[in-house]
Structure 1
Amino acid sequence: MPEATYPPTYNPHLLPELVAKPWLRELSPAVTLLHCKVIDTEAGKLLDGMRTVKLRAGKIVSIDKGGETANIGGKNVVDVEGRYICPGLIDCHVHIIHAPGEASIASMRTVPRELVTLRSTYVLKSMLKRGFTTIRDLGGANKMIANAIEEGIIEGPRLLQCGYVISQTGGHGDSLPGISGGSGEGCCGHVYSSGRTADGVPAVLRAVREELKGGADFIKLMIGGGVASPYDALESVQFTRDEVRAATETAWNSGRKMCTAHAYTVDAIIHAIENGVRGIEHGNILDKPTAEMMAEKGIWLTPTLATYGAFTRPPFDKHLPPSGMEKNKMVMEKGLASLKIAHDAGVQICFGTDLLNSMHALQTEEFTIRSIVLESKDILRQATCNAGKMLGYEGKLGVLKPDAIADLIVLEKNPLEDIKILDRPEENLVAVIKEGRLISGSLPAFPA
């Protein structure tokens, strides 16, 4: 028996996990996709002819006409057999901590933060398998979760997040009990929360700076009333001019970070825009003059229509109190008309869903709802290149071109002809590829 030594010796090449972060993977290998029908989302049309798409190290290297296996070599060559290649989808309004597991919004607010985070991993994985390779979280997610996805600890779409949303006391983001006016300034804690309260310029400045310090990619302000919040009327306009200005100027001066605003009504939207907000979430009750102002100023709009219909159907029709159901009815009835008004005015529009609990399974229904008033090419643009531009990834996300990130989905049918095929992923979604790696689906010969 050989004599033991202390400390033992080892071969680091045989034990690659003896590093600080053993879960990190090397960049994805080179892959060539043959016989692709490539969708140009910016132009709203197919590129002419069959294309060969080359991927390497998580990016698109080239998109060329023709190209047969014999001319390329057999290693990591995948024949997609004339299927449609589309950029990975982008949902610009999600809440991953609003995860399944509870029967109502009220019961969600009692769940420990650690459990909420664990449950969110289910939401993330499900979204990715539906073809969403990038998401923008509008309250509750944080930089730690985003980093865990980026490093490969958990599986999910690329995540951009605002940390906690910022609300005035009694506003849409205030989830504290309404007993004797509540219990003061609120932030975070050990149970579920997607928001924090801040009243007055100093408190708003601190809240914004703390979220940015925590790694927020942007800031979200609650500027108007909400459907699910118990204390505020839908028509309310929240925060003072100085408070909003304090937030938007601080965010912009801290690395040109964008502020976006929860706002349904014309008054709330105008209040937000006049004080430096660059994005509007929802916007269900806007009118033509407001839409024209948004277009002129380059303000982004992210409607979220799927969630309102979900609240009217079992088992979600008991999630809201009667007052919430009345507000939900109002915004649902006006949402499609406002979407059409904004589109016709030339507003920059993105795709969003804002779903809660098990409603996340209805994420792709947003495509079908928007198709009632918009053409397929416009909706696809909202879920790809428009979203990529708003997120600061113009030319990198939501497009298929050289040097773009290799996020793409393989489809049986052409979404430019009928966007509703994206609402049937079980029939039409062949594969999901994120940064050059096959995440789900079946493509023979695709490297692991």
Structure 2
Amino acid sequence: MSAPQVNGNATKDWPFPNPPVVREEYLPKLAIKPWLIPQTPQRVLKNCKVVDPASGKLLDGLKSITIAEGKIVSVEDTRDSDEGVDVQGAYVCPGLIDCHVHITATPGVKTMLELVKLPDQLTSLRSTFVLKEMLARGFTTVRDTGGATKIIATALEEGLLEGPRLFQCGKALSQTGGHADFQSAVSGGNQTGCCGGHSESLGRVCDGVPQVLKAVREELKAGADFIKIMMGGGVSSEADPIDMIQFTEEEVQAITKTCDRMGNKISTAHAYTPGAIRHAVENGVKAIEHGNFIDEPTAKMMAEKGIFLTPTLACYGIMARKPFEDFLSEVGRPKNLEVMEKGLEALKIAEEAGVTVCYGSDLLVSMHALQTEEFTVRSQVLDSPTILKQATTNAAKLLKHEGKLGVIAPGAYGDIIVLRSNPLEDISVLDRPEDNLLAVIKEGRTSMSHIKGL
């Protein structure tokens, strides 16, 4: 009795006659993870005008960029003999980085109340649409500040999902009555959302040192790249005014010291006011989200201590106009207008004080489609090179990926966008991707291209 053949080699213990033969082309699909995509072969882009965000200038002359095994191998002057894809003098920029997203706050609902009632599995499935669209807008890396998981990040890394590289914190940590407590306020607010619900998908509630220790340890064990702490009032949550300061000193220190001891992870804080920001920084937090009411002394303190700031400005205007004017509750709408009025002034104060400022959008539901509007909003008070740096090299520092992200140089990831216009002259070209974005390349793989040969 013969055994089945795999590439001509007989397998053992085959009890039947006429053994099947496994054809060679089927072997990759028999792997444990058959979706894994092999590295793309070497590719060259030539006649590139290379944008260098760190210097705020173009590199001298036209360049040829060689990418192999997902990374940039060389950036050299283009020669007549160079083979490769000719971009014909288009502007080649590092892939964009959005440092404040919520990929599980997906389209499919109209209001915040509907969003927090969605089942987790449905939000995870819908997030695949959000991720694919973000990549198509030129964002090759995103930092999720509440909702995403290591599971989704790994699926992206392995090629099972299409989208940006994902850094995530799991669930943000909130005290009872804090910014990520979306449970009902009736009888103390201990009710769960519908069907298990989404009320604790963006964040989780923990009170007292033992609970916060357990929460931060569980998130880090689950693979969180950083930890987010809700330390002040928020727009979308109903029980906390904007000027509220959340968590005690002991609770915050328990979180930040655990981050230091479990992999030297960065902790970041949702905080609008100087009081909330100082409460965070004085107790070990390394980065701030929003900061709309920041004042000059607080900004200088942040700069001296090397604290990062990720403002999110466009989202407030988006939530105040059609078709999203009913997204927030009656409690949230006036808070939204309150923080919107101060955002641009705070951005200017932070930048002038020397704070390392990063790009963030903080959009929810179908608002994700307006992710690039943040570029145009910031351009009202900052110049284009400064804003581009916030979405590239500054963001790479926050993610501890300097030299790998936000730059076109040997050793960096092959994350590139090709543009019709120069973003150093007018950053708002990034807010019109349909007119200006010619190609998106992540780790050497083309995700979107209007250039022949890519």
1:367 corresponding residue in structure 2: 375
What is the CA distance between 1:117 and its match in structure 2? Answer: 0.5
What is the CA distance between 1:292 and its match in structure 2? Answer: 0.2
Amino acid at match of 1:374: L
Whole-Å separation in 1 of the counterparts to 2:194 and 2:184: 14
Instruction: Provide, for residues 244-286 of structure 1, a one-character-per-residue CA deviation record: whole Å limited to 9, x for no partner.
Output: 0000010111111000000000100000000000000000001
Q: 1:88 to 1:418 in 2, by over 3 A?
A: same
What is the CA distance between 1:13 and its match in structure 2? Answer: 4.7
Amino acid at match of 2:68: R
What is the CA distance between 1:7 and its match in structure 2? Answer: 5.8
1:187 and 1:195 in contact (8 A); partners too: no
1:145 corresponding residue in structure 2: 152
Whole-Å separation in 1 of the counterparts to 2:18 and 2:345: 75
Q: 1:361 to 1:278 in 2, by over 3 A?
A: same
Whole-Å separation in 2 of the counterparts to 1:220 and 1:200: 17
Q: 1:202 to 1:187 in 2, by over 3 A?
A: farther
SS at match of 1:15: helix
2:291 and 2:309 in contact (8 A); partners too: yes
Amino acid at match of 1:114: Q
Whole-Å separation in 1 of the counterparts to 2:165 and 2:354: 28
1:249 corresponding residue in structure 2: 257
1:288 lines up with 2:296 in the alignment? yes
Instruction: Provide, for residues 37-92 of structure 1, a one-character-per-residue CA deviation record: whole Å limited to 9, x for no partner.
Output: 00111000000111111111111111111222x3x4x4xx1000000000000000
1:16 lines up with 2:28 in the alignment? yes
2:121 corresponding residue in structure 1: 114
Q: 1:172 to 1:14 in 2, by over 3 A?
A: closer
Q: 1:433 to 1:247 in 2, by over 3 A?
A: same
Whole-Å separation in 2 of the counterparts to 1:259 and 1:13: 47
Q: 1:187 to 1:239 in 2, by over 3 A?
A: farther
2:90 corresponding residue in structure 1: 83
Whole-Å separation in 2 of the counterparts to 1:187 and 1:322: 20
Give the TM-score normalised by the residue count of structure 2: 0.94
What is the CA distance between 1:445 and its match in structure 2? Answer: 2.1
**Mapping for residues 233-272 of structure 1, pairs under 5 Å:** 233-272=241-280
1:191 corresponding residue in structure 2: 197
Whole-Å separation in 2 of the counterparts to 1:319 and 1:14: 49
1:136 lines up with 2:136 in the alignment? no
Whole-Å separation in 1 of the counterparts to 2:19 and 2:367: 55
Amino acid at match of 2:401: Y
1:46 corresponding residue in structure 2: 58
1:161 lines up with 2:168 in the alignment? yes
Report the identity percentage: 57
What is the CA distance between 1:176 and its match in structure 2? Answer: 1.3
Whole-Å separation in 1 of the counterparts to 2:108 and 2:218: 30
Give the TM-score normalised by the residue count of structure 1: 0.96
1:265 and 1:285 in contact (8 A); partners too: yes
1:351 lines up with 2:363 in the alignment? no
**Mapping for residues 298-447 of structure 1, pairs under 5 Å:** 298-446=306-454
SS at match of 1:334: helix
Moved more, 336-345 or 316-325: 316-325
What is the CA distance between 1:5 and its match in structure 2? Answer: 3.2
1:288 and 1:342 in contact (8 A); partners too: yes
1:55 corresponding residue in structure 2: 67
Whole-Å separation in 1 of the counterparts to 2:139 and 2:261: 31
2:9 corresponding residue in structure 1: none
Whole-Å separation in 2 of the counterparts to 1:443 and 1:23: 27
Whole-Å separation in 2 of the counterparts to 1:347 and 1:376: 17
**Mapping for residues 200-215 of structure 1, pairs under 5 Å:** 200-215=208-223
SS at match of 1:322: coil
2:118 and 2:194 in contact (8 A); partners too: no
Amino acid at match of 1:62: S
Whole-Å separation in 2 of the counterparts to 1:377 and 1:190: 46
Amino acid at match of 1:191: G
What is the CA distance between 1:8 and its match in structure 2? Answer: 3.0
Amino acid at match of 1:87: P
Whole-Å separation in 2 of the counterparts to 1:229 and 1:93: 18
In structure 2, runs of 5+ residues without a counterpart are: 5-15
Amino acid at match of 2:51: I
Moved more, 220-229 or 10-19: 10-19
SS at match of 1:201: helix
1:216 lines up with 2:224 in the alignment? yes
Instruction: Provide, for residues 326-378 of structure 1, a one-character-per-residue CA deviation record: whole Å limited to 9, x for no partner.
Output: 11111000000000000000000000000010100110000000000000000
CA RMSD of aligned residues (A): 1.7
Amino acid at match of 1:150: E
SS at match of 1:93: strand
In structure 1, runs of 5+ residues without a counterpart are: none
Instruction: Provide, for residues 85-117 of structure 1, a one-character-per-residue CA deviation record: whole Å limited to 9, x for no partner.
Output: 000000000000111000111011221111111
2:10 corresponding residue in structure 1: none
2:78 corresponding residue in structure 1: 66
1:173 corresponding residue in structure 2: 180
1:133 and 1:158 in contact (8 A); partners too: yes
